[in-house]
Amino acid sequence: MVINNLKKTNTALIFIFLVIAGLYVGASFFIPITFGIFFATLVLPVCNYLERKVGLGRILSSFISTFLLMVGVGVVFFSLIQQLGIFTTDLVERKDEIQNYLVLVRSEIMESTGFTLEQQEEMFRDRLSQILQFTQKFVSGLLTGVLGMVLKFLLILIYVFLFLINRDKFKKFILEYVDQDHKEEANVILRDTKKVAHKYLWGRIQVMLILGVMYLITFTAFGLEHTALLVIFGVIVTIIPYIGPFISGLLPILFMIVFGGTTTEIVIFSIIVLIIQLIESYVLEPLIIGAEVKQSPLFIIIAIILGGAIWGTAGLILFVPIFGIMKIIFDHTPDLKPLGHLIGYEREGSDAKAGEGIFTQIKNKFKK
């Protein structure tokens, strides 16, 4: 008995190792196709509406849904690039101001370390060639990365379009490998998997929009420069759980310090940003995203770390909903139910009622 259990454990460990190795080695293939699956589930309700309510054909409705996805993502990133251009132009126009600031910094360095301005200038000249080489490599890598990202996004859109067209075929393909006694349960797993993928992305979009509104009001009230850039970037980066919101809150505070806020303004601004971060982390995410993915905070962090190690930035985004899908499979597999319970998200009291709005959930949250 002990030997059989040991063999089962070794087999499971070897299988997990091979899966992780396969995901790592095949990242260039798996990342676009996984994004394609999740984006397809996001726009699937639109596609179904166009087919059932409007009466469009499968191909036309899939094309329109994919086109709307492309426009939505394109508008966001075009706005980000446009605001980055405005920020760069502003830096060029403030060349004299930046130079005066650097002189002040050099004076502070001289008082703190004893290095004279001549010594600092000599050290700067020694490092200048290295700085230029690094800048050249960075710009070249950035352009290559942007081009690669655009090509990958086009590939993702192709995947989305094809998944939407062939969604019934994929479902039939999976069910053909399930015996008749388990077909009903397999249908439940497929339905819940699709629901989690859709609701995670939709929940993340809801959190991003609410956070963006709070940031916009706060930054505008304090007259923070480059508000549009900070809001757009802050909203985009929050797609990475826990890490993203921290970055989106830290950057505006740095802008407030660099672009001349008084000490009192900086302190008050930092407190408000911290409060926004707490609302996002402890109210919005548990109510909107935690309830949909149904994962504990511990395993969300594990998913982020593991995803980042295997797939880099894409893994930071994708592995949380992937863990949510794994939980569904565990919950419907008798031998794996303990794992599903382990990574599950336990809410106090009963789950949110179907159709219950976010504001009602927030109100109920504070009643507890």
Rounded alpha-carbon distances, angstroms, from residue 278 to 37, 287, 302, 345: 31, 13, 21, 19
CA separation for the pair 165, 142 (Å, rounded): 35
Q: How many CA atoms lie within 13 Å of 49's alpha carbon, on the beta-carbon side?
A: 7
pLDDT digits (tens, 9 = 90+) for 301-347: 888 889 989 998 888 888 888 888 888 888 887 877 888 888 876 55
Cβ within 8 Å of residue 317, ≥6 positions away = 239, 240, 307
pLDDT digits (tens, 9 = 90+) for 58-111: 999 999 999 999 999 989 888 888 888 888 887 777 666 666 666 666 676 666
Asked if 240 contacts 80 with a C-beta cutoff of 8 angstroms, the reply is no
Enumerate the H helices of 332-357 as residue ranges: 337-342
Please give the helix or strand (H or E) that residue 29 lies within, else none. helix 27-49
Mean pLDDT, the chain, whole residue set? 79
Looking at residue 320, its pLDDT comes to 84
